[in-house]
Amino acid sequence: MTAFARRNGVLHAESVSLIDLAARFGTPCWVYSRAALEASLAEFERELAGLDALVCYAVKANSNLAVLDVFARRGAGFDIVSGGELRRALAAGADPRRIVFSGVGKTAAEMELALAADILCFNVESAPELDRLSAVAGRLGKTAPISLRVNPDVDAKTHPYISTGLKENKFGVAYEEALALYRHAASLPNLTISGIDCHIGSQLLDPAPFAAALDKILTLVDQLAANGIVLHHIDLGGGLGIRYRDEDAPTVQAYLQPMLQKLRDRHLQVLLEPGRRLVGNAGLLLTRVEYLKPGEVKNFAIVDAAMNDLARPALYGSWHDIVPVVAPQGATRPWEIVGPVCESGDFLGHGRDLALATGDLLAIMSAGAYGMAMSSNYNSRPRAAEVMVDGADVHLVRRRETAEELYALEQRLP
Ligand code: LLP
């Protein structure tokens, strides 16, 4: 799926020129392709066809209502981690019976909200959370469906900040304690044990750790059955990586088939929580070169997007391809692509060989996941607009913030 391709030398989103989008909506601006979103979901749908399975898109990766809407219309479910994400998903038309609630710190108020909405399952991450959920559900006269997020202690071989399946991580319950905790759950009122859940990390490029984690989880499933605890579903989490630069990201088939083999004849509904894989390469960040500052040691290209928009390079040292919107001419030199924010860590790319002129438009690629979702207003920079392209149609799905909106909730002293 090439949602972003050149036509007559100009980069387009589907049928729409990025020059036109910049003229219409200004820069910086997030651009999403509906066709690319649908194509990435379709990849999962193909592998899961005929199975009792549900893709629960991890809302945190990109929570724009229009993005959620695209997935909800195709029958996807959602993985949420806060009351805010629950409200968003419902506002986007999500079926609450297809929502799972993950996260280590669910508040009583968030539990109430989710119980009132009748969500599919709570992915519980600790013993005190079980106790709290039981109490909250009791108060509301409800029964909370639960699964335990079990930490299989496998090395996902990804960036330490986004690796979550190791013992040293704050996530999930320890593998060795899971059985006892399930028994505890079974003894609590107002809970019903529905499944088991596991998520080992993000941007994984090797299917092997997923399969290794599943083996451990299935051993546990059997132990649970021997203890009279029969599960209805297994949630394999998210984490499948994408190509940012030259990574060999596995196909969805290569990722899923080994696991689906292991699950055959198990009579377990399969849930998945992909985030990045569904949206990452379906979005880009459009920016304009404001100033060029060639120097003795480094050449700086100061663009109008910054770390407050796309935090990943500053935060994880992540690499995003940066391409000129108009096919480049002339000699290239290595540029530091940096934003206007007052931090040396405010960079989008280091040493990129480009032929740049002031006013040029650049596209920062693979920015659909953890882009806008992690943006901030640092330096009092209004959040950028978000646009969804659908063939030749263009929808402004979030208008640019205004400066006044940034301090609208604040007050001067009386
Ligand atoms: N399920 C759970 C419980 C998660 O914690 C996450 C991501 C996902 C699913 C979705 O993972 P994905 O399929 O997107 O890999 N901000 C970082 C990524 C943090 C991921 C956090 N958890 C980044 O920009 O790379």
pLDDT digits (tens, 9 = 90+) for 50-75: 999 999 999 999 999 999 999 999 99
Q: Tell me the pLDDT tens digit for each residue of 371-388.
A: 999 999 999 999 999 999
DSSP labels for 204-227? Answer: B--SHHHHHHHHHHHHHHHHHHHT
Q: Is the pTM of this model over 0.85?
A: yes
How many whole angstroms separate alpha carbon 270 and alpha carbon 164?
A: 20
User: 3-state class of 263 per DSSP?
Assistant: helix
Residues 166 and 104 in one domain: yes
Domain closes at, from 276, 306, 329? 276
Which residues span the domain enclosing 358?
A: 4-32+280-406
Residues 303-307, mean pLDDT to the nearest whole number:
98
Instruction: State how many domains the chain has.
Output: 2
Using a pLDDT cut of 70, give the percent of the chain over it: 97
Task: Confirm whether 59 is domain-assigned.
Answer: yes
pLDDT at 163: 58
Is any ligand 1 atom within 6 A of the Cβ of residue 106?
A: no
Using a pLDDT cut of 90, give the percent of the chain over it: 94
Residues 88 and 234 in one domain: yes
Residues 275-294, mean pLDDT to the nearest whole number:
98
pLDDT at 1: 62
Calculate the alpha carbon distances from 149 to 127, 179, 218, 260 in Å.
Answer: 11, 12, 13, 19
Q: What's the CATH code of the domain at 85?
A: 3.20.20.10
Residues 164-189, mean pLDDT to the nearest whole number:
88
Domain closes at, from 216, 244, 276? 276
Q: What's the CATH code of the domain at 370?
A: 2.40.37.10
Is any ligand 1 atom within 6 A of the Cβ of residue 249?
A: no
pLDDT at 329: 86
Task: Confirm whether 413 is domain-assigned.
Answer: no
Residues 88-92, mean pLDDT to the nearest whole number:
98
Residue 181 identity: L
Domain closes at, from 276, 311, 345? 276
Q: Report the nearest-CA residue for atom 7 of ligand 1.
A: 202
Task: Confirm whether 301 is domain-assigned.
Answer: yes
Pocket test of ligand 1: the residue of 60, 157, 234 to mutate, having most ligand atoms within 8 Å of its CB, is 60
